[in-house]
A and B are shown apart, each in its own frame.
Chain A
Amino acid sequence: MKRLLAALFVLVICGTAAHAAEPAALPSNSLYQLQAALTDQDGRAIGLDVHRGHPVLVTMFYASCPAVCPMLVDTLRATEKQLDPATRADLRVLMISIDPERDTPEALRSLAASRRIDTSRWTLARADSADVRTIAALLNVQYRQLPGGEFNHSTVITLLSPLGVVETSSSKLGTPDPALVAKLGD
């Protein structure tokens, strides 16, 4: 088991070739079963499993969102602050845009800069609208674009296990969800 984990760890470190090299290990209920084409804030092609091997908080947002999304970043940060340093160092955050039209890598990069987001552990990503719909369905995020271009969307923070299985999710905003923090501490 330890050896397997070590092997996984190496694969994650080596990064992109992960897909082909690690068959069979994914549980049937892992979100990483989805082959989605995402692009991160630096324009790199990544998958939903970019942080495979780590616990990940995944959420969906859009960069031009005036109210909820800034709060979402704050909530994720506050959640991290509740963790001991080792747990925090192992945790990753993946924020996926529901607005592929406007959220180009440049837009995501500028959000990362303006919010001083540490992109060594946090990833802002976009996907085309077909993948966005599938990811939203997997995460149980409901969204609808309004005629003016803004979005109504539910905010859900989902904790994925290192293999991409949903551990728990929360739609609490503003303060860290104790249930989420507890699960991360396990």
Chain B
Amino acid sequence: MRRAARVVCLALAGHVVAAACAPGAWAAQPAASRAAIPGGTFATVLPPAEKVKSATVRGFQMDRRTVSNAEFAKFVSQHPEWRRDRVARIFADDGYLKHWQSAGSPGETLAAQPVTQVSWFAAKAYCEAGGARLPTWYEWEFVAAASATVPDARNDPQWRQAILEWYARPASATLPAAGSTAPNFYGVRDVHGVVWEWVLDLGSMMVSADNREQGDPDDKRFCGTGALTMEQKENYAMLMRIATLSSMQANYTSSTMGFRCVAGSEPMP
């Protein structure tokens, strides 16, 4: 019941924002299409520090689905510096939006699909243009722990198996439309089974528990992924996600990496 009330309030707030920003101002997604995520403390696969195995997130609002090509095209039309023919190479590699029909349009078949081939810089700029930001790893992980019925299903072997089956599927040529997978406990879709997603704190995913000793940086980059200190080794899906994220640099693009935005207070460290 309390949850329902919160969702209603959020929906109302969304209307106010939409009215205030009305013509001209562009929003990534109206706030009403974000799900309210209550904060909480949970056991993370990526311990924040030695001997600290839990992470805390404050309440925030998360996009109910991944950002689509059509939505990203709207952003690009209003921020032409992010067109693939204008973007500074420092912010995106040459795979950036290369699957689009033209520099300004994804084409009809791609319109509803999650946008991929976008760099971290571009994803971050998209969210910020809409007054939002990328989720942190802990925020994403917190939401991703939920099944359709409970907020933390990570100890449910059946649920884990279902997620793993997605990773076992071959990367197909066509992605499902953004928002076409079943909602989880919070009403958030596409968390598993569609694309990898950028996180705000990409640059902290590779830091080892003690990064102060200076050694071979390449060594550190690899050992520092957190893999050595990760918890819940049976949670392969999460470990794969971290491995994928930590192999990405901020200007990289990939046909399997998309994103969504969140709104809410500054993330906890």
Contact = CB atoms under 8 A, between A and B. Distances in A.
B211 A133 contact: no
Interface stretch (B164-172, B182-190, B197-205, B237-245): B197-205
A133 B201 contact: yes
**Count class of interface residues, chain B:** 20 to 34
B124 A133 contact: yes
Given A133-B124, A138-B250, A154 B201 contact: no
Contact of B203 (A33, A67, A141): A141
B173 to A, nearest CB: 30
Interface in A115-142: 129-130, 133-134, 136-138, 140-142
A150 to B, nearest CB: 9
A165 B128 CA distance: 25
Nearest to B120: A137
Nearest to A174: B214
Interface in B31-52: 48-49, 52
A147 B203 contact: no
Interface in A150-168: 152-155
B269 interface: yes
Contacts, number: 80
B204 A147 contact: no
Given A33-B88, A137-B202, A152 B120 contact: no
Nearest to A148: B49
B211 A172 contact: no
Taking residues whose C-beta sits less than 8 angstroms from the other chain, chain A's interface range is: 20 to 34
A129 B120 contact: no
A154 B90 contact: no
B109 interface: no
B207 interface: yes
Contacts of A171: 214, 217
Contacts of A141: 203
A136 B121 CA distance: 11
Interface string B90-112: 11000000000000000000000
A154 B215 CA distance: 11
Most buried by A among B48, B52, B90, B250: B90
Contacts of A30: 88, 90
A81 interface: no
Contact of B212 (A67, A138, A140): A67
A19 interface: no
A145 interface: yes
Contact of B88 (A29, A140, A155): A29
A114 interface: no
A129 B212 CA distance: 22
B214 A147 contact: no
B192 interface: no
B266 interface: yes
Given A141-B203, A148-B49, A153-B211, 13 more contacts: A28-B89, A29-B88, A29-B89, A29-B90, A31-B90, A33-B88, A130-B124, A130-B128, A142-B203, A144-B269, A146-B49, A147-B269, A174-B214
Interface of A: 28-31, 33-34, 67-68, 129-130, 133-134, 136-138, 140-149, 152-155, 171-174
25 contacts: A28-B89, A30-B90, A33-B88, A133-B124, A133-B201, A137-B203, A138-B90, A141-B203, A142-B211, A142-B224, A143-B203, A143-B207, A144-B48, A144-B207, A144-B269, A146-B49, A147-B49, A148-B49, A152-B211, A154-B211, A154-B217, A171-B214, A171-B217, A173-B214, A174-B214
